[in-house]
């Protein structure tokens, strides 16, 4: 390992504009192999769109729970809708409930699409609150993040000595999810202080220690601290705050695809002292994509699995049952 930062800041314009594609790919490859996290600036998501998406999230989470309840994600087999506080336990070992709420949007299909009618996995319709501009804003962000994520996968392919378009067919109609997240302020003495032991978190934890499920995660935060990662053989590390930059990390699906060449690193969100908001985009492949060790990555360490089967298994372990 070099003396480069554990969570480096990469400039997307070097790749997208062609000024130094090779340099960007090399830096991306190092980050993906070591920490599995990097920051991405000049990513092309407009400040106006980010601000509007945060504002729509604020409006939704301010609604009374009774108005959000009909959209409960636990009633939806396609991973769409509202996740209330206490509905998720990302840390499967401790079972500690996450102190957050969220709202999920998936690949948008019309109700009469044959796959929707047939009830195919992760091929349902999105559910929406009655808020002006909410649907339009979230779908604009979804499309922008999806375009960025798929193009990032071209750089991933180049790093792995594969054709740049290797992953294109895997993300034509993906199970990608846009998730708005809201972490309420905590009065706990240890919350949001960079506590690396997990002690003194007070009222709970924003999101328990976990790895993400998909290929890439693109995370926009509001600047409030709390996100930590745990690199291989190291202690918990605070993710740096760089205004406007995305936090990008490798998920388990891509780690499996690369046969553990890339690192899907545990991370968590401490319960913050101030309200914390983020916008996460999880780039999962098409439902029928086969996740198997890529050429040149050695003897397969994992059995082949479809994208839909893998995502469903992971989600089933996350959600708590809906109260009767």
Specify the pTM.
0.92
The pLDDT value given to residue 60: 98
Counting the structural domains of the chain, the total is: 1
Residues whose CB is less than 8 angstroms from the CB of residue 143 and which lie 6 or more positions away in sequence, other chains included: none
Residue-number span of the structural domain to which 112 is assigned: 9-316
CATH number at residue 74: 2.60.120.330
Q: What's the token pair of residue 102? A: 């969220």
The pLDDT value given to residue 188: 57
Residue 312: which of 174, 148, 184, 122 has the closest Cα? 122
In a domain, 321, yes or no: no
Residues 77 and 311 sit within 8 Å (Cβ to Cβ): no
Cα–Cα distance, 225 to 196 (Å, whole number): 13
Q: Say whether pLDDT at 194 is over 70.
A: no
The pLDDT value given to residue 3: 53
Cα–Cα distance, 211 to 150 (Å, whole number): 20
In a domain, 115, yes or no: yes
Task: Output the CA–CA distances (angstroms, integers) from residue 120 to 92, 308, 309, in the order listed.
Answer: 27, 10, 12
In a domain, 309, yes or no: yes
Residues 129 and 137 sit within 8 Å (Cβ to Cβ): no
In a domain, 324, yes or no: no
pLDDT digits (tens, 9 = 90+) for 99-130: 999 999 999 999 999 999 999 989 999 999 99
Q: Say whether pLDDT at 190 is over 70.
A: no
Q: What's the token pair of residue 112? A: 């009469």
In a domain, 256, yes or no: yes
pLDDT digits (tens, 9 = 90+) for 140-159: 999 999 999 999 999 999 99
Q: Say whether pLDDT at 73 is over 50.
A: yes
Please state, for a pLDDT cut of 70, what percent of the chain lies above it: 90
Residues 178 and 149 sit within 8 Å (Cβ to Cβ): no
């Amino acid at each position: 390992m070099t003396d480069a930062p554990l969570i480096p800041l990469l400039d997307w314009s070097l790749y997208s504009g062609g000024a130094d594609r090779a340099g960007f790919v090399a830096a991306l490859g190092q980050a993906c192999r070591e920490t599995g996290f990097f920051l991405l600036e000049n990513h092309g998501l407009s400040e106006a769109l980010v601000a509007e998406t945060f504002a729509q999230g604020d409006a939704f989470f301010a609604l009374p729970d009774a108005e959000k309840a009909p959209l409960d994600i636990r009633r939806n087999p396609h991973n769409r809708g509202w996740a209330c506080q206490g509905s998720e336990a990302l840390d499967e070992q401790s079972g500690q409930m996450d102190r957050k709420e969220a709202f999920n949007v998936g690949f948008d299909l019309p109700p009469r699409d044959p796959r929707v009618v047939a009830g195919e996995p992760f091929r349902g319709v999105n559910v929406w609150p009655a808020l002006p501009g909410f649907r339009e804003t979230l779908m604009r962000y979804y499309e922008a993040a999806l375009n960025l994520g798929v193009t990032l996968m071209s750089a991933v392919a180049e790093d792995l000595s594969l054709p740049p378009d290797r992953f294109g067919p895997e993300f034509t109609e993906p199970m990608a999810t846009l998730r708005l997240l809201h972490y309420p302020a905590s009065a706990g003495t240890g919350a949001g202080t960079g506590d690396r032991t997990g002690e003194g978190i007070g009222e709970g934890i924003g999101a328990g220690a976990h790895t993400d499920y998909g290929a890439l995660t693109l995370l926009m935060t509001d600047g409030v601290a709390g996100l930590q990662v745990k690199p291989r053989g190291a202690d918990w590390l605070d993710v740096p705050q760089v205004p406007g930059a995305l936090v990008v990390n490798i998920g388990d699906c891509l780690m499996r695809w690369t046969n553990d060449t890339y690192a899907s690193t545990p991370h968590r969100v401490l319960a913050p002292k101030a309200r914390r908001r983020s916008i996460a985009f999880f780039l999962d492949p098409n439902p029928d994509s086969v996740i198997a060790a890529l050429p040149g990555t050695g003897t397969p360490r994992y059995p082949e699995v479809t994208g839909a089967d893998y995502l469903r298994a992971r989600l089933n372990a996350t959600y708590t049952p809906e109260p009767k």
